[in-house]
Amino acid sequence: MKTRADLMEKIVSLCKRRGFIFPGSEIYGGLSGIYDYGPLGAKLIRNIRQEWSKEMFRQQENIFELDSSILMKRQVWDASGHTSAGFTDPLQECKKCHHRFRADHVSDSNKEKSKCPDCGGSLTAPKKFNLLVETHLGPVKDDSSLTYLRGETTQGIYVNYKNVKTSTGAEIPFGIGQIGKAFRNEITPGHFIYRMREFEQMEQQYFVRPEDAEKYFDFWKNERMKWYLNLGIKKANLRFRAHEKNELAHYARAAEDIEYNFPFGWHEIEGVHNRGDWDLSRHSKFSGEDLSEIDQKTRKNFYPYIIETSAGADRVTLVSLVDAYDDSDKKRLVLKLHPKLAPYKVAVFPLLANKPELVKLARKIYDDLRPQLMTAWDDRGNIGKRYFSQDEIGTPWCVTIDFDSLKDKKVTVRDRDTMKQKRVAIKELADYFKKHV
């Protein structure tokens, strides 16, 4: 087993080599904090989105799905607090090489706070740097056309709170969830896809009576932790961390992060927040639209409290890769992904590519399985090489069609993790795999 720093390097290299994740705009030298998902990575992150959607919109009750726009009126971000001090990171610049750093990261990595980590030059005093990515809408590029790419997906939920409630007849407690891109001008993106400038969030807002907020905060904490465990993430690598009062975001009354034990330390993958009445009261004030509720008993108005669960799809992708990566067996590298997450569930091989009768039967099995499960085809090299190639990308089962298959109508199914092989009847194959996925 290699050191943990090596592990990140190996994962980055596997991702590039096998087509999970590529550096953004790579042929132009790359773009810091931006990555593209390749043929396998696009499948992996799609499976993660699907698992989140299944959990929120099927397993849980009363959560409504939304797909709101990335661009919103600029006032949304004034109301949310993102254009003011709330959404800033402390920035320091080197007086010599003019590189810029996040002050809290410099102090993490460099005992001597005032020195530049790149050239040793002295740094300016920290100043506030806003993370919103600016853009202009319309033909005139002036202050009146300025707006932002959304810094979190959740603001689209608050802006549509009334629309969803009215169109569905929902009564609190209920939730609204959505998956989508968010953008932040991070000062120091890094750790591969851990901290990016364009990333994807899976956010759910649960609207409750103020007196129920604590109860639902605990409920959602538990539900979210269960979700990671059900994806097969190792329990020992997951923990909660409560925010101290001085690190709470501008909107939060209480917050706990779900953290993962990455090769670069324990870091946040999801936040569970009690946002109190901050969002609906602020949007009511700024928009003029009353988003309060009436208490049926007292006839008094109140703003629902919001319990938010906010996960990063890219961070969950990185967690699934790190947690699954296993090169403890010197002879092979295996991605022990949960079958639900594996890009391909099954790979089909004819034992010999130059035997038409084997290829014909293998092709038929491949064609039958493909509409039911993500199925790969491989007829290159020998069977051992094909197994190793599928192990590296996490395919849980390989199916080999040999000469016996032509007679007994059975095939060899090889298990990725145990490497055990067994004969399974061709007509039972699809059910055999589906039972496990």
Any contact of residue 310 with ligand GAP (CB under 6 A)? yes
Q: Which of 51, 89, 93, 203 binds ligand GAP (CB under 6 A)?
A: 203
CB of 197 to ligand GAP, least distance (A): 7
Task: Spell out the residues 6+ positions from residue 437 whose beta carbon is closer than 8 angstroms to its own.
Answer: 339, 340, 345, 373
Any contact of residue 89 with ligand GAP (CB under 6 A)? no
Any contact of residue 201 with ligand GAP (CB under 6 A)? yes
Looking at 99-107, 172-180, 277-285, 311-319, which segment touches ligand GAP (CB under 6 A)? 311-319
CB of 138 to ligand GAP, least distance (A): 28
Q: Minimal CA–CA distance to 68: which of 8, 141, 134, 152?
A: 152
CB of 88 to ligand GAP, least distance (A): 12
Any contact of residue 279 with ligand GAP (CB under 6 A)? no
CB of 155 to ligand GAP, least distance (A): 8
Any contact of residue 271 with ligand GAP (CB under 6 A)? yes
Any contact of residue 196 with ligand GAP (CB under 6 A)? yes
Q: Which residue minimizes CB distance to ligand GAP?
A: 312
Any contact of residue 154 with ligand GAP (CB under 6 A)? yes
Any contact of residue 199 with ligand GAP (CB under 6 A)? yes
Kindly tell me which of 126 and 312 has the beta carbon lying closer to ligand GAP. 312
Any contact of residue 395 with ligand GAP (CB under 6 A)? no
Q: Which of 312, 343, 350, 394 binds ligand GAP (CB under 6 A)?
A: 312
Q: Which of 21, 116, 269, 342 binds ligand GAP (CB under 6 A)?
A: 269
Residue type, 256: E
Kindly tell me which of 52 and 174 has the beta carbon lying closer to ligand GAP. 52
Any contact of residue 18 with ligand GAP (CB under 6 A)? no
Q: Which of 82, 150, 165, 315 binds ligand GAP (CB under 6 A)?
A: 315
Q: Which of 186, 277, 279, 392 binds ligand GAP (CB under 6 A)?
A: 186
Q: Which of 18, 43, 184, 416 binds ligand GAP (CB under 6 A)?
A: 184
Residues that bind ligand GAP (CB under 6 A): 152, 154, 184, 186, 195-196, 199, 201, 203, 268-271, 308, 310-312, 314-315
